[in-house]
């Protein structure tokens, strides 16, 4: 027996030594890999001081990167300015630029592999690249030249990398190098901007799905309003919407923003103050790239999407502007009847029309090229078949303003040079997609607003549901005339604000949208702006970071009242007591916002569990507003079918509260004194390559950062299902037009896309805390690089 024991001990020692040796090898290999990554990341850092030759320049260009990494580019000509802008953007963001054009063009599979095929099919079907290429002819000769100059600058940088081999480490990890840049790449990224800011086609499909699956009145409970006339209802036999559209790519709901402008009558300086913070996906690198561009005729500062010339949001030495998403109905789904004997023909006004068939072969990394065809009817691409057969002879095609030729990048160039409201409004005529709410301020005291862009006028229908495509009764009759678009100039109340809210009164003669953002951000902004006549830039920054939750102010007291008299356990009573003593601020250190926001999450989801699939929930545009309306109706004694099925509003609230408390205890324990919103609600700004588990430790910040706010506060901070903040103010900007030389900015998490750059994540804490950096039009200090011909 003793001998057996000794043998076991020896065996355990051998296994122990083997395990230790194996772990040592793994650790050594990991350290070597990290050293390799560190080496390649360091060697690919761009040159930011001294001199550098750039092919295509005519004269030297000065580039000063200030303390926040913002490049101030000064050139003798527009030619040299835009060549330099392309070169500098590529220095800091080349991998991001390449991914952006690939995503929008549907060519990710070439570098990622088979996992991206469905995504590529979707974007090939939409045809953003095709629309961009069609748009080229509509641009002026001057704008075309700018786009070519910009591409020359990007390609000059790519050529240098081909020669040196010092590619950004992401290209090394992905195993490819980028192709040359073209003007069509910039235009395609511009079209993707329209996609990301959305339309409402998915909502139309979702409502049709509701009518297929549920009794009409139950389906209508989830509509924003009742259809004006009897809709055409597709049967399941005609088309299975759930199967056909389950793989569609849907941008985050209400990729929106806040913006406002205050007249000099309400400011300490006596001049207008403007504030803007677009709410988009939060990631590394930022969707925005901040720059200052200067020639003898241009002096403009602000942000742009990497891959595009000019400045889309910001200010020059005379004016400032900002945007929010108008969110109009600029998309329609048409129900198409296909010829059973000739599937390339579709019925319209009693005749069979030949559709266009576009070959879109999809090349796959380390695999075969997949043949893929896109069918395009008179209305647009057939989108119901990109992932699955939709129906034997019935399809859905998409008509969308962004698929038509448009010249939004030319509008940006013209906006940059505008010196007053008249010139700026003239420039906006060319900003056709996406439709945006522009606010404006200038040093001459003018404040203004315009809901700008192509918004369709329909012969019939109200954009709630897909409409018959076999008749001309539902065609578009042009767009809302430019001089009839919503517009405000120097209002008597002394301010203008928008937050993706309804922008017109009920007597406005044209249809804008059926779906608007929840009103709470706009309500809070207006509440603050009405309260003071002596505002400063600091006040505007404080408002951008405001955490007052007006949804909680509306609903939390009603939740508490509804549960009074119910038999509650101690945990439930304690939770309600915490809410009862809350100031309704989504402060990261408080327990109340944790309880309320998770409770609202369950309220928004539980009533649909088991009835609407997760895929279809992705199409449920405006769900939070719909649920808010269901709650209001229930509290007024009008419980709809969805609430009644849950046993009534009281039982439903109680059920969701129990789920909430169970979640919180799993996450943060049973000691309510240790609960806090920030321990759940955190931001990280994840890198796209961090989805590969080991790389998250390389590209992401070490640990997530607790933050306040929520999806309904002015300090926007929306989350995924795990509490990770992934949506919010991607850029924050304020300016007092009394000093047009100075703007205040935040670009989270930082300017650079290079892992080893000092500007990679330097603004992450600033983003959480609301600490802005100052950008000057006359900046003379910083790391100086001279680009030479």
Annotated binding-site residue? 332: yes
Identify whether 749 is preceded by a cis peptide bond (ω within 30 of 0): yes
Contact residues for 324 (Cβ-Cβ < 8 A; gap 6+): 256, 257, 258, 259, 276, 278, 436, 437, 498, 499, 500
- Is residue 441 pLDDT above 50, yes or no? yes
Q: Residue 472 to residues 196, 394, 467, 617, 735: CA-CA distances in angstroms?
A: 30, 17, 10, 32, 49
User: For residue 256, what are its two tokens?
Assistant: 């929106």
The helix or strand, by DSSP H or E, that contains position 468, with its residue range, turns out to be strand 467-468
Q: What is the pLDDT of residues 136-148, one digit of tens each?
A: 999 999 999 999 9
- Going by pLDDT thresholds of 50, 70 and 90, the confidence category of residue 597 is very high
pLDDT of residue 385: 81
Query: For residue 73, what is the DSSP state?
Result: E
pLDDT of residue 40: 67
- Is residue 3 pLDDT above 80, yes or no? no
DSSP 380-413: -BB-TTSSS---SSEEEEEEEGGGS---HHHHHH
pLDDT of residue 251: 85
Q: Residue 377 to residues 135, 384, 729: CA-CA distances in angstroms?
A: 19, 13, 39
pLDDT of residue 272: 98
Residue with the larger pLDDT of the pair 26 and 91: 91
- Going by pLDDT thresholds of 50, 70 and 90, the confidence category of residue 27 is very low
CA 53 to chain centre: 36
Q: What is the pLDDT of residues 566-595, one digit of tens each?
A: 999 999 999 999 999 999 999 999 999 999
Q: Residue 302 to residues 411, 747, 772: CA-CA distances in angstroms?
A: 16, 10, 14
Please identify which of the residues 44, 257, 384, 757 carries the catalytic annotation.
257
Q: What percent of the chain has pLDDT over 70?
A: 94
Summarize the confidence of residues 518-545 as an average pLDDT.
Answer: 98
Indicate the pairing of strand 682-683 with strand 724-729: parallel
Q: Is 463 left (phi over 0), alpha (psi -120 to 50) or beta?
A: left
From CA 47, how far away is CA 54, in angstroms rounded? 12
CA 310 to chain centre: 20
Length of the chain (residues): 789
CB atoms within 10 A of CB 227: 14
- Is residue 765 pLDDT above 80, yes or no? yes
DSSP 246-269: TT---PPTT--EEEEEE-GGGBSS
Annotated binding-site residue? 671: no
Summarize the confidence of residues 478-485 as an average pLDDT.
Answer: 98
The alpha carbons of the chain give a radius of gyration, in whole angstroms, of 28
Q: Residue 584 to residues 557, 581, 594, 596, 708: CA-CA distances in angstroms?
A: 11, 9, 11, 9, 12
- Going by pLDDT thresholds of 50, 70 and 90, the confidence category of residue 246 is confident
pLDDT of residue 243: 84
From CA 499, how far away is CA 4, in angstroms rounded? 76
Sheet holding 331-337, edge to edge: 394-400, 331-337, 467-468
Say whether 257 is catalytic.
yes
- Is residue 22 pLDDT above 70, yes or no? no
Gap between the terminal Cα atoms of the chain: 86
pLDDT of residue 197: 87
Q: What is the pLDDT of residues 179-235, one digit of tens each?
A: 999 999 999 999 999 998 877 899 999 999 999 999 999 999 999 998 887 788 888
| Coil/strand/helix, residue 598 | helix
- Is residue 310 pLDDT above 80, yes or no? yes
- Is residue 35 pLDDT above 70, yes or no? no
Is the pTM for the entire model greater than 0.85? yes
**Mean pLDDT of all residues belonging to the chain:** 93
CA dihedral 142, 147, 153, 157 (to 10 degrees): -170
Query: For residue 46, what is the DSSP state?
Result: P
Q: What is the pLDDT of residues 55-98, one digit of tens each?
A: 999 999 999 999 999 999 999 999 999 999 999 999 999 999 99
Q: 568-571: which pairs have CB atoms within 8 A and are 24 or more residues apart?
A: 568/654, 571/661
Q: What is the pLDDT of residues 610-663, one digit of tens each?
A: 999 999 999 999 999 999 999 999 999 999 999 999 999 999 999 999 999 999
CB atoms within 10 A of CB 583: 12
pLDDT of residue 107: 98
From CA 192, how far away is CA 280, in angstroms rounded? 13
From CA 429, how far away is CA 336, in angstroms rounded? 33
pLDDT of residue 13: 54
pLDDT of residue 4: 45
> In degrees, to the nearest 5, what angle opens at C-alpha 214 toward C-alphas 211 and 218?
95
**Cβ-contact 94, 168 below 8 angstroms:** yes
CB atoms within 10 A of CB 526: 17
Summarize the confidence of residues 538-549 as an average pLDDT.
Answer: 98
Q: What is the pLDDT of residues 158-182, one digit of tens each?
A: 999 999 999 999 999 999 999 999 9
């Amino acid at each position: 027996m003793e001998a057996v024991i000794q043998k076991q001990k020896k065996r355990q020692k051998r296994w122990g030594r083997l395990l230790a040796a194996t772990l040592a090898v793994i650790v050594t290999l990991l350290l070597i890999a990290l050293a390799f990554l560190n080496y390649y990341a360091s060697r690919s850092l761009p040159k930011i001081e001294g001199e550098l030759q750039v092919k295509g320049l005519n004269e030297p260009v000065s580039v000063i990167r200030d303390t926040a990494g913002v490049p101030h580019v000064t050139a003798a000509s527009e030619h040299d300015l835009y060549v330099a802008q392309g070169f500098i953007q590529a220095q800091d963001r080349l991998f991001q630029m390449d991914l952006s054009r690939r995503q929008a063009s549907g060519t990710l599979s070439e570098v990622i592999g088979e996992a991206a095929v469905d995504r590529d099919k979707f974007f090939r079907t939409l045809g953003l690249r095709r629309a961009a290429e069609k748009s080229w002819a509509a641009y002026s000769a001057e704008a075309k030249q700018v786009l070519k100059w910009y591409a020359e600058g990007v390609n000059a940088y790519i050529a240098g990398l081909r020669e040196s081999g010092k590619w950004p480490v992401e290209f090394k990890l992905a195993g490819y190098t980028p192709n040359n840049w073209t003007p069509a790449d910039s235009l395609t990224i511009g079209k993707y901007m329209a996609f990301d800011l959305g339309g409402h086609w998915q909502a139309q499909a979702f409502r049709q799905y509701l009518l297929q699956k549920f009794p009409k009145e139950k389906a209508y409970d989830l509509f924003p309003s009742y259809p004006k006339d009897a809709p055409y209802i597709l049967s399941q036999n005609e088309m299975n919407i759930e199967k056909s559209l389950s793989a569609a790519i849907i941008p985050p709901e209400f990729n929106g923003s806040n913006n406002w402008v205050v007249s000099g009558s309400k400011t300490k300086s006596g001049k207008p103050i403007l504030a803007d913070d677009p709410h988009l996906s939060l990631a590394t690198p930022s969707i925005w790239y901040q720059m200052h561009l200067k020639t003898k005729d241009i002096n403009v500062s602000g942000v742009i999407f990497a891959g595009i010339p000019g400045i889309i949001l910001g200010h020059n030495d005379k004016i400032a502007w900002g945007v929010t998403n108008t969110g109009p109905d600029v998309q329609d789904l048409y129900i198409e009847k296909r010829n059973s004997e000739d599937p390339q023909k579709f019925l319209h006004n009693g005749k069979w029309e030949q559709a266009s068939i576009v070959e879109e072969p999809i090349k796959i990394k380390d695999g075969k090229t997949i043949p893929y065809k896109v069918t395009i009817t008179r209305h647009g691409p057939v989108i119901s078949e990109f992932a699955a057969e939709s129906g034997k002879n019935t399809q859905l095609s998409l008509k969308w303003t962004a698929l038509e030729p448009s010249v939004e990048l030319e509008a940006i160039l013209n906006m940059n040079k505008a010196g007053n409201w008249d010139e700026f409004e003239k420039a906006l005529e060319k900003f056709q997609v996406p439709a945006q709410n522009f606010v404006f301020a200038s040093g001459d005291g003018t404040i203004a607003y315009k809901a700008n862009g192509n918004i369709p006028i329909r012969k019939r229908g109200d954009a709630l549901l897909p409409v018959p495509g076999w008749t001309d009764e539902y065609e578009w009759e042009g767009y809302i005339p430019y001089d009839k678009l919503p517009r405000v100039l120097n209002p008597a109340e002394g301010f203008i604000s928008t937050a993706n809210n309804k922008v017109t009164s009920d007597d406005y003669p044209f249809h804008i949208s059926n779906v608007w953002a929840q009103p709470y951000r706009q309500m809070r902004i207006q509440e603050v702006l009405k309260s003071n006549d002596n505002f400063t830039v600091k006040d505007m920054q404080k408002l951008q970071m405001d955490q007052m939750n007006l949804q909680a102010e509306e609903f939390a007291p009603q939740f508490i009242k509804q549960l009074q008299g119910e038999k509650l356990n101690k945990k439930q009573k304690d939770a309600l007591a915490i809410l009862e003593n809350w100031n309704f601020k989504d402060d990261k250190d408080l327990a109340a916002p944790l309880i309320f926001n998770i409770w609202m999450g369950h309220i928004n989801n539980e009533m649909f569990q088991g009835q609407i699939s997760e895929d279809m929930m992705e199409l449920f545009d405006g769900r939070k507003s719909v649920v808010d309306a269901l709650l209001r109706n229930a509290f007024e004694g009008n419980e709809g079918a969805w609430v009644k099925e849950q046993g009534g509003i009281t039982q439903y609230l109680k059920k969701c509260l129990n789920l909430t408390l169970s979640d919180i205890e799993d996450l943060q324990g049973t000691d309510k004194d240790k609960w806090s919103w920030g321990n759940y609600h955190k931001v990280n700004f994840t890198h796209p390559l961090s989805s590969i588990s080991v790389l998250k430790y390389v590209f992401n910040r070490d640990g997530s950062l607790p933050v306040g706010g929520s999806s309904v506060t002015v300090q926007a901070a929306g989350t995924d299902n795990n509490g990770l903040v992934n949506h919010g103010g991607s850029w924050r900007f304020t300016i007092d037009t009394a000093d047009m030389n100075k703007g205040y900015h935040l670009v989270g998490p930082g300017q650079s896309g290079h892992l080893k750059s000092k500007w990679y994540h330097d603004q992450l804490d600033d983003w959480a805390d609301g600490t802005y950096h100052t950008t000057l039009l006359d900046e003379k200090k910083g790391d100086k690089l001279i680009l030479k011909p």
